[in-house]
Chain A
């Protein structure tokens, strides 16, 4: 046993896969299924987990997290569903345009930042759009274990309601779908009212929806512990900036369309990460010196830590100013 604590490796363990199916679901969403290249079984995973998919896009490595949406008990495949984001940074476009059946890819072991609370007497799922994906796995899990659940799923239109028909026909009494273009909306106050003690609510969707659910539940006297949410943030573009990395002893430039974490990786710095979406805390980095303003976008650090200027989450947060020195 060595004396010094070992540094955690950046990212979760990896699995070499082959794309076994590409299934367009509608104009925006496509499902990708993976098989292992070594023919072995995938590790089991817990519902709500995500995997980080590595994309080799013309010399640039993109790493995007996607919820695993296949049945957790099925160790023969992993599946994700990707919504094409034409305004985004290009990861989803790459998946939609370039990834074909038979392609070799690398994904990470499952990481769960949105687990079911297994104490729950009942689980109420609230999905907005592509936020349906983690619930696909949760529903499969609860069906197998005999858990109580219901789903309320808001989508733009019938044409864009990924999996809505499949879910409705399989679980007609538990699935409720709401179409924006038909002016249907989740009656949140009604459905929070009268749930048995020990019910947990899970929301996955746009930021506004997540905030709405947390606030409404709170005014209805729900404990915070019973309200769960997951939101992956995509790094936002911003003005290029320069950073000095103490431990690595180098100065790097962060481009307009890359995150600080990506810039470090591009320069060969082995920086830790897991979710790449401001949620897991793994990439937390100490600030040695800063003359300027931080643009904090993560969910990990609290307000005091943000205000202190002593820490930054390089996966989603940026900096504007004269000088930034990090302990990395």
Chain B
């Protein structure tokens, strides 16, 4: 599957790369949906590294499509989680046991990668040392700057905050700590004048 190429943007907007095998003392891979394809590419490059990997995979809408493929590459541990939230305790437990030299590989949607990156950073790994590769949906995780609520999987600009109901426009300004882009009221200076929502990157 071809990868989506994000247009060039401002300096706070994350830039994703292509996962590559790196030497280390352990390998933690976290992916959702089509992110599995990036892990499979990695397995093709370095089967041995993959045999040592602990994988946490959230299939989302892809069902069983990728689970068997991942399993067939024989990772040390493959954990399939029904949602990112359900996998958080496990991610934290794995990180709390880990030592320097752990390599972290993240693949899939921006929301998944951002949140998992945050867990790894909180555990003491600098974000520059965490590999990421975007695959699948371009939906965004948005924070409403006014009420601070997070709206997941935003596909249009503007959109309605799922917490306070304000109409927000989608900025490219991104916070690693919140793992979210910033949403700001679109009609603040002209209440009620809300532009027609447009699908992101269309």
Direct contact of A and B (CB under 8 A): yes
B interface majority secondary structure: loop
Asked if A220 and B129 make an inter-chain contact with CB atoms under 8 angstroms apart, the answer reads no
With an 8 A cutoff between CB atoms, is A88 at the interface?
no
Q: Which chain A residues numbered 188 to 203 have a C-beta less than 8 Å away from chain B?
A: 192-199
A196 nearest in chain B by CB position: B99
A199 in complex: contacting residue of B22, B95, B100, B103, CB < 8 Å? B100
Q: Which chain A residues numbered 172 to 193 have a C-beta less than 8 Å away from chain B?
A: 192-193
Rounded to whole angstroms, the CA-CA distance of A70 and B181 in the bound complex is 46
Provided the pairs A195-B100, A196-B99 are in contact, do residues A221 and B24 lie with their beta carbons within 8 angstroms?
Answer: yes
Asked if B102 and A197 make an inter-chain contact with CB atoms under 8 angstroms apart, the answer reads yes
Asked if A197 and B23 make an inter-chain contact with CB atoms under 8 angstroms apart, the answer reads no
Could you list 9 A-B pairs, sorted by A, with CB under 8 Å? Answer: A121-B124, A197-B124, A220-B25, A220-B101, A221-B23, A221-B100, A221-B103, A223-B128, A225-B129
Report A's interface with B, CB cutoff 8 A.
Answer: 119, 121, 192-199, 219-226
Asked if A197 and B129 make an inter-chain contact with CB atoms under 8 angstroms apart, the answer reads no
Asked if B102 and A223 make an inter-chain contact with CB atoms under 8 angstroms apart, the answer reads no
Provided the pairs A192-B101, A195-B100, A226-B100 are in contact, do residues A220 and B24 lie with their beta carbons within 8 angstroms?
Answer: yes
Minimum Cβ distance to chain A for residue B127 (Å): 9
Asked if B126 and A226 make an inter-chain contact with CB atoms under 8 angstroms apart, the answer reads yes
With an 8 A cutoff between CB atoms, is B164 at the interface?
no
A221 in complex: contacting residue of B95, B101, B123, B124, CB < 8 Å? B101
Other than the known A197-B123, A221-B101, what 5 A-B pairs have Cβ atoms closer than 8 Å?
A192-B100, A196-B99, A220-B101, A221-B102, A226-B126
Asked if B125 and A193 make an inter-chain contact with CB atoms under 8 angstroms apart, the answer reads no
Asked if A222 and B126 make an inter-chain contact with CB atoms under 8 angstroms apart, the answer reads no
Q: Which chain B residues numbered 95 to 140 have a C-beta less than 8 Å away from chain A?
A: 95, 98-103, 123-126, 128-129
A119 nearest in chain B by CB position: B124
Residues of A with C-beta under 8 A to B128: 223-225
Rounded to whole angstroms, the CA-CA distance of A198 and B126 in the bound complex is 8
Residues of A with C-beta under 8 A to B123: 197-198
Rounded to whole angstroms, the CA-CA distance of A221 and B101 in the bound complex is 4
Asked if A197 and B25 make an inter-chain contact with CB atoms under 8 angstroms apart, the answer reads no
Provided the pairs A192-B100, A194-B99 are in contact, do residues A221 and B125 lie with their beta carbons within 8 angstroms?
Answer: no
Asked if A223 and B129 make an inter-chain contact with CB atoms under 8 angstroms apart, the answer reads yes
Q: Which 10 A-B pairs have the closest CB atoms?
A: A198-B124, A221-B24, A223-B129, A221-B101, A197-B124, A225-B126, A195-B100, A220-B101, A197-B123, A223-B126
Rounded to whole angstroms, the CA-CA distance of A237 and B31 in the bound complex is 56
Minimum Cβ distance to chain A for residue B194 (Å): 42
B126 nearest in chain A by CB position: A225
Chain B, 153-179, contact with A by CB distance < 8 Å: what is the 0/1 string?
000000000000000000000000000
Residues of B with C-beta under 8 A to A121: 124
Minimum Cβ distance to chain B for residue A4 (Å): 29
Rounded to whole angstroms, the CA-CA distance of A152 and B70 in the bound complex is 43
Asked if A221 and B126 make an inter-chain contact with CB atoms under 8 angstroms apart, the answer reads no
Rounded to whole angstroms, the CA-CA distance of A224 and B129 in the bound complex is 8
Residues of B with C-beta under 8 A to A194: 99
Rounded to whole angstroms, the CA-CA distance of A199 and B101 in the bound complex is 10
Rounded to whole angstroms, the CA-CA distance of A196 and B129 in the bound complex is 16
B22 in complex: contacting residue of A197, A221, A225, A226, CB < 8 Å? A221
Residues of A with C-beta under 8 A to B24: 220-221
Residues of A with C-beta under 8 A to B23: 219-221
Residues of B with C-beta under 8 A to A119: 124
A120 nearest in chain B by CB position: B124
Residues of B with C-beta under 8 A to A192: 100-101
Residues of A with C-beta under 8 A to B126: 223, 225-226
